[in-house]
């Protein structure tokens, strides 16, 4: 099974600054037949279910602010928040959906510095 590893485990960033979260998979998530990376990003705030931010590694879900962006391919991926807002304090998870057995990264807790 594919193992997802996020770094760092926690991150403190000043308001208005850039936040970068990394996600590494134990095998490539790039499917050769469609040239797509089967990787999604979620945001979870306390007491709430997760919210989908990004899928296909870089496609923003409808309604997600454009300060959120995803990049990467193969086994290495990044979620970037270009200018941190107070409402972005949350735990962020990557998830692969390659094959039939999926998994999440362990999560990255994002706080305000």
Partner 1 sequence: EVQLVESGGGLVQPGGSLRVSCAASGFTVTNNYMTWVRQAPGKGLEWVSIIHTGTNIYYADSVRGRFTSSRDDSKNTVHLQMNSLRPEDTAIYYCARDSVMAYWGQGILVTVSS
Residues that bind partner 1 in the complex, under the rule CB under 8 A: 1, 40, 42, 44, 49-50, 52, 55, 61, 91, 93, 95, 97, 100-107
Residue among 107, 99, 110, 97 nearest 50 (CA)? 107
Q: Shortest distance, CB of residue 44 to partner 1, whole angstroms?
A: 7
For partner 1, the closer CB: 1 or 34: 1
Cis peptide before 8 (omega within 30 of 0): yes
For partner 1, the closer CB: 24 or 61: 61
Q: Shortest distance, CB of residue 48 to partner 1, whole angstroms?
A: 8
For 46-113, list the strands marked E by DSSP: 51-55, 59-60, 68-73, 76-81, 90-96, 103-104, 108-112
The sign of the CA dihedral 62, 36, 8, 51 is: positive
Q: Shortest distance, CB of residue 40 to partner 1, whole angstroms?
A: 5
For partner 1, the closer CB: 71 or 106: 106
Residue 40's beta-bridge partner residues? 95
Q: Shortest distance, CB of residue 50 to partner 1, whole angstroms?
A: 6
Residue among 28, 23, 38 nearest 102 (CA)? 38
For partner 1, the closer CB: 33 or 100: 100
């Amino acid at each position: 099974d594919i193992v997802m590893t996020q770094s760092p485990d926690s991150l403190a960033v000043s308001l208005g600054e850039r936040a970068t979260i990394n996600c590494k998979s134990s095998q490539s998530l790039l499917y050769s037949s469609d040239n797509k990376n089967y990787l999604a990003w979620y945001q979870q705030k306390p007491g709430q279910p997760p919210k989908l931010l990004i899928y296909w590694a870089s496609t923003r879900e409808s309604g997600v602010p454009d300060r959120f962006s995803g990049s990467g391919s193969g086994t290495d991926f990044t979620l970037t928040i270009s200018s941190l807002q107070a409402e972005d304090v949350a735990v962020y998870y990557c998830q692969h959906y390659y094959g039939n057995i999926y998994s999440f990264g362990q999560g990255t807790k994002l706080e305000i510095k």
